[in-house]
Amino acid sequence: MPTAHEWGRLIYTLKMGANGAMEMLGLISKKASRVEVAEVFTSLDRVLQKELQEEEKVAMKYNVIMLEHALCKIKRLTTRGITMKEILQEI
């Protein structure tokens, strides 16, 4: 399993859904560097690891790949006309 930092660097390289979602959420700027993207993704993972209960993490099979996938889905939903407000209400 890659580390959150390694996966964050990949997110920067691909510049796709997860990167866009972190921009939309105000976590990074459009001009964020590879280091910044990796650090923010790592921080997001760290917060979720701390805040989620163990049974929640097991139920959702939480890991960094699942986190990146969820960020991609957030970005995709907005391209289909669903507002960020609606998405955040459901989360």
Chain segment 18-53, per-residue pLDDT in tens: 999 999 999 999 999 999 999 999 999 999 999 999
Which residues fall within 8 angstroms of residue 15, CB to CB, at 6 or more apart? none
Instruction: Please report the pLDDT score of residue 64 as a whole number.
Output: 96
Chain segment 58-87, per-residue pLDDT in tens: 999 999 999 999 999 999 999 899 998 998
Ranges of each domain in the chain = 4-90
Predicted structure pTM score: 0.90
Is the pLDDT reported for residue 88 higher than 90? Answer: no
Phi and psi angles of residue 12, each rounded to the nearest 5 degrees, phi first: -60, -45
Q: How far apart (Å, rounded) are the C-alpha atoms in residues 39 and 82?
A: 28
Is the pLDDT reported for residue 91 higher than 80? Answer: no
